[in-house]
Amino acid sequence: MVQFTAFQGTANLQSSINATDGLGTVSLSAIYAALVVSCIFLPTLIIRKLTVKWTLVFSMLCYAPYIAFQLFPRFYTLVPAGILVGLGAAPMWASKATYLTQVGQVYAKITEQAVDAIIVRFFGFFFLAWQTAELWGNLISSLVLSSGAHGGGSSSSSVNNTITAEDLQFCGANFCVHRVNGHSNLERPPEHEIFEISMIYLSCILAAVAIIAIFLDPLKRYGEKRKGSQSAQELSGMQLLSATFRQMKKPNQQLLIPITVFIGMEQAFIGADFTQAYVSCALGIHQIGFVMICFGVVNAVCSILFGSVMKYIGRTPIIVLGAVVHFTLISVELFWRPSPDNPIIFYAMSGLWGVGDAVWQTQINGLYGLLFRRNKEAAFSNYRLWESAGFVIAYAYATTLCARMKLYILLAVLTLGCVGYVIVEILYRRKQRKVKRQEKDEFDKKEKEKEAEANKTGIDSNINGLPVSVEETDDELDDLEEDIIVTHF
């Protein structure tokens, strides 16, 4: 939360405060392009060398130069700093997901609850805290900008009076970056305000690193070197580097690629295109933070809500909700003409987008953790890789396509992603039924033999409920329970 208070607050402003020659958007594109490369080569290797905790510390430090160079925004400063962020982000996110999934499995084993529900709940708690970064980061930027000359030091009405009808006709779906030179609402704020924001954000980065280094328990307390884990095996460097590629061969992984790409694209749209084409264009740069606070708060609340109710209603109804929300929002934005006379609509659109994003963040992360339990590092590297690919795609055409075409592309990718998810869900449920039938047949056949052996040795060989004689495919191996070792202190 503290880390992304700084980064999210900075990223949401990039397309507006560094709009000249698309510098802000290009720097964001550099982040996610580097993240794609990093996802392929770095996470599994770095996590193995540094362990999960110190991978987090090292990776989070990579964000500091990008924040600092906001004081001197040039292509030769922000783009290299963005690349460094991308290289550090993949190991950071993979180690985070590995940590949450492993402690979630330990908790599920101790409390005798369903593993998939616990993993999703843990991700829900994480995203509750993470999404509140939108609140704090945007609150900082909006308070600084609104109190200064750029915000007029008063209500937004004083700024809105300077907006002409000609300016407004190019807002919303009609917005094109190459048409808005001289727009009265898109001028860069004064340098002293940028300095104040950047110093606050840089302090947040350093504080976040200190919190992780000092207070976070090492994962070895919860079985970091667990039996059967990819990271627990003594593999060569090239084998570790190829783990992400091997993960891509799995049918479930391939089917989840479109929806994972969409997650990146929809976050890029709300953070860059919506803030610039709708909020900045109609309300002014100083209002971006306030509108995005609504996105962050709703996202955080829904993250914990969906993580908790999933065990009662299942995963599918929640994902259906997310799909309906995003289909509706994208369709509305194609025809909505933003106006400063109706500011409440901006907040409603932002909040509803947070509902949809919370669905994808919690449920798809949890689905990856459920489907690929024995290859979590490689699986979450793939998740971050394809999500980052979505960011890169969105930012790559950000300065060339108009907002309307971007919305059509989002609709197409969302449709394809939903189709892929439905197939994964069908295959998973069919596989679960098959395994249960095999377990029952095996149990009925060897019940007396197992009971006799258990009485003799004092060990219930069927305690895990998974007979060793059942043959599983490569994908199905990911669904087997792991032997989790918990170190007690």
Which CATH number is 139's domain given?
Answer: 1.20.1250.20
Q: Which two tokens stand for residue 167?
A: 């300016």
Task: Give the rounded percent of residues in the chain with a pLDDT score beyond 70.
Answer: 81
Contact 471, 207 (CB under 8 A): no
pLDDT at 459 over 60: no
In a domain, 391, yes or no: yes
Is residue 247 very low, low, confident or very high in pLDDT (cuts 50, 70, 90)? confident
Provide mean pLDDT across the span 444-464.
63
pLDDT at 280 over 80: yes
Average pLDDT, the chain: 80
Q: Which two tokens stand for residue 318?
A: 């929640």
In a domain, 444, yes or no: no
* Phi and psi torsions of 480, nearest 5°: -75, 145
pLDDT at 105 over 70: yes
Provide mean pLDDT across the span 431-457.
74
pLDDT tens for residues 83-100? 999 999 888 988 888 888
* Of 63 and 112, more confident: 63
Q: Which two tokens stand for residue 343?
A: 């500011």
Total domain count for the chain?
A: 1
Is residue 229 very low, low, confident or very high in pLDDT (cuts 50, 70, 90)? very low
Tokens 């971006």 correspond to: 288
In a domain, 480, yes or no: no
The Cα angle at residue 392 between residues 387 and 397, in degrees rounded to 5:
135
Which amino acid is located at 187 in the chain?
E
Question: How many beta carbons lie within 10 A of that of residue 439, not counting itself?
Answer: 15
Is residue 161 very low, low, confident or very high in pLDDT (cuts 50, 70, 90)? very low
- In this structure, of 91-100, 174-183, 249-258, 367-376, the range with the lowest mean pLDDT score is 174-183
Coil, strand or helix at 72: coil
Is residue 154 very low, low, confident or very high in pLDDT (cuts 50, 70, 90)? very low
Coil, strand or helix at 120: helix
In a domain, 85, yes or no: yes
Provide mean pLDDT across the span 125-140.
82
Residue 395: the pLDDT is 84
Helix (H) or strand (E) holding 242: none
Contact 484, 223 (CB under 8 A): yes
Question: How many beta carbons lie within 10 A of that of residue 368, not counting itself?
Answer: 24
Coil, strand or helix at 61: helix
Residue 241: the pLDDT is 58
- Based on its alpha-carbon atoms, the radius of gyration of the chain, rounded to whole angstroms, reads 24
In a domain, 458, yes or no: no
Is residue 271 very low, low, confident or very high in pLDDT (cuts 50, 70, 90)? confident
Distances (CA, A) of 435 to 328, 331, 350, 427, 467: 38, 42, 43, 12, 10
What CA dihedral angle connects 476, 479, 485 and 489, to 10 degrees? 160
Residue 184: the pLDDT is 57
- Candidate ranges 39-48, 121-130, 238-247, 443-452; pick with highest mean pLDDT: 121-130
Residue 179: the pLDDT is 62
- What is d(CA 46, CA 405) in angstroms, rounded to the nearest whole number? 39
Contact 283, 156 (CB under 8 A): yes
- What is d(CA 186, CA 25) in angstroms, rounded to the nearest whole number? 14
Distance of CA 65 to the CA centre of its chain: 22
In our burial notation (b when 16+ CB lie closer than 10 A, e otherwise), range 416-431 reads ebbebbeebbeebeeb
The Cα angle at residue 239 between residues 234 and 244, in degrees rounded to 5:
120
In a domain, 179, yes or no: yes
Is residue 65 very low, low, confident or very high in pLDDT (cuts 50, 70, 90)? very high
In a domain, 466, yes or no: no
pLDDT at 228 over 60: no
**Structural domain boundaries, residue 267:** 1-150+163-217+239-428
Question: How many beta carbons lie within 10 A of that of residue 195, not counting itself?
Answer: 13
* Of 469 and 192, more confident: 192
pLDDT tens for residues 18-33? 777 778 888 888 998 8
Residue 414: the pLDDT is 95
Provide mean pLDDT across the span 254-281.
90
Tokens 């690349």 correspond to: 83
Residue 44: the pLDDT is 73
pLDDT at 399 over 60: yes
- What is d(CA 308, CA 245) in angstroms, rounded to the nearest whole number? 33
In a domain, 460, yes or no: no
* Phi and psi torsions of 466, nearest 5°: -130, 95
